[in-house]
Structure 1
Amino acid sequence: MTAVLTTLNLAVERRGSWATLGHSGIDKRPVAHRVMARHEGLEGDLVADRRVHGGPDKAVYAFAREDAVFWEQELGREIRPGNFGENLSTTGLDITGAEVGERWAIGEAVFEVIRARKPCRVFAGFWDVPDLVKRFIAQGAPGAYLRVLQEGTIGAGDPIEIIERPGHGVTIGYLLRALTTEPHLMPRFLDAPQMLPKHHEKARKWLATHPQETSAR
């Protein structure tokens, strides 16, 4: 199956008591036009709280429509593209199995998979599902934040080509598990030079405090 950017989604400002700053860009909706992917994010996208969103290491967020099906069945309601707060809704792409450092060519742009999405209370509030954070982590398909390595325009219908895969085996799904429920997995981070320095530091600290335990490396 060919991997495709099914929809390209930009934020519509939403306000609510659940929003950290009183407003949020978590509600993203499909647009028909092509958009320029910049190193800091997509042109025209709203990032409300830049302390925790946006910037080079969270420039773009991708989520697979195949994983959305689980939540439609779990919650008994339709979840449209962009409702996870994702900029890129994809089909035919295993995002959970993507390795940190994996590179994708979409349209004129090139992206690098850099980190898993850890859900927050804003996400839970937006969906009005109080225990969503716990359930999202347990389901284990968090989507991925991407860096923009090569700026360019992208649009719905563009094919997605995996142009580089590092081969270290530290996937988005593995990263989420290690950072949440299975910290003993963190030493494997050191086998992946593409990972963020703070994640390498977490791995070193875990090893320093568990010298007698068998690591997952």
Structure 2
Amino acid sequence: MSDSTGLPTGTVLAVCVATDDVVLDRVGASAIDKRPQTDRVRVGELGPTNDHVCDTKHHGGADQAVYAYSEPEAQRWARDLERDLPYGWFGENLRIDGMPITDAIVGEQWAIGDDGLVVETTIPRVPCRTFAAWADEPQWVKRFMDRADTGSYLRVVHVGTVGIGDVVRVVHRPTHGVRVRDLLAGTAADADALTALLAADELAPKVRREAERKLARV
């Protein structure tokens, strides 16, 4: 879908948080088991206020405050794996339909709902051993990386609340053209576009880190 500006719009299908830890073999306690919430959820600068992170070294923080995943990408995995992948299975806070998530432009801003929440796309999700243990699928990390449908982390530009059915509107889109997917190792990327991204003002620190790494490889 798109609005009168031609920019895409989507719909929040689910808002998911981890209220309890799950204990995984060879990993230990994890907050990957996100469950859908029926009430509106407040989102602060570090993400949903009723969510939590166990591995704070690799997850969470301002640049990874919220994790969004695409419904079409989730359904494609469900068909391939021949299993139901309910809302929250990817460890996502937001399951969104109707607009690009992994193929969103880095640094584009989304207004979600009508309570003031604005977020900005940052970096792709990189699968780890926790995700592999949770998925319990052969060679899961490699398969997830090969497909590169990673979803997008988001930083919070303006706090607010989010709920099921909220409309997601792209309210700002940078012109450099680098997608979230393009920052993932192993995907193609354009050096000029990465250079333009790195020239942006107020670039999220983790975006700068990943863009510099990718430009060095290119």
TM-score band w.r.t. shorter chain: 0.7 to 0.9
Please tell me the root mean square deviation across aligned C-alpha atoms, in Å. Answer: 1.8
2:212 maps to 1:181: no
Aligned counterparts of 2:154 and 2:194: Cα–Cα separation in 1: 18
**CA spacing shift, 1:186–1:131, aligned 2, 3 Å:** farther
Per-residue CA distance 1:21-57 (angstroms, 9 max, x = gap): x200101010001111111111110211100111101
Equivalent pairs, count: 202
Pair 1:9-2:16 in alignment = yes
Aligned position for 1:104: 110
**1:211: which partner in 2?**
none
Other structure's SS at 1:3 match: strand
1:73 alignment counterpart: 79
Q: Which residue of 2 aligns with 1:201?
A: 212
Task: State the match for 1:144 in structure 2.
Answer: 152
Please, what TM-score do these two structures have when normalized by structure 2? Answer: 0.86
Q: 1:184 to 1:72 in 2, by over 3 A?
A: closer
How far does the alpha carbon of each residue in 1:134-173 deviate from its partner, in whole angstroms, 9 at most, with x for none? 1111112100000000001111111000101102110012
Q: Alpha-carbon deviation of 1:182?
A: 4.4
Task: Give the C-alpha shift of residue 185 in structure 1.
Answer: 4.9
CA distance in 2, matches of 1:205, 1:92: 34
Match of 2:127 among 119, 133, 137: 119
- 3-state SS, counterpart of residue 115 of structure 1: strand
Q: Distance in 2 between matches of 1:10 and 1:37?
A: 11
Distance 1:119 1:203 in 2: 17
Q: Percent identity?
A: 38
Hey, what does 2:42 align to over in structure 1? 36
SS in 2 for 1:118: coil
Segment drifting more, 192-201 vs 121-130: 192-201
Aligned-pair distance for 1:13?
1.3
Return the alpha-carbon distance in structure 1 between the equivalents of residues 93 and 215 of structure 2: 33
- Alpha-carbon displacement from aligned partner over 1:107-142 (angstroms, at most 9, x marks no partner): 220000011111111101101114111111111210
Give yes or no for the alignment of 1:52 onto 2:63.
no
1:14–1:25 CA contact under 8 A, matched in 2: yes
- In structure 2, the CA distance between the partners of 1:149 and 1:17, relative to structure 1 (3 Å rule), is same
Paired letter, 1:4: T
CA contact (8 A) 1:13 1:46 kept: no
1:199 deviates by 2.5
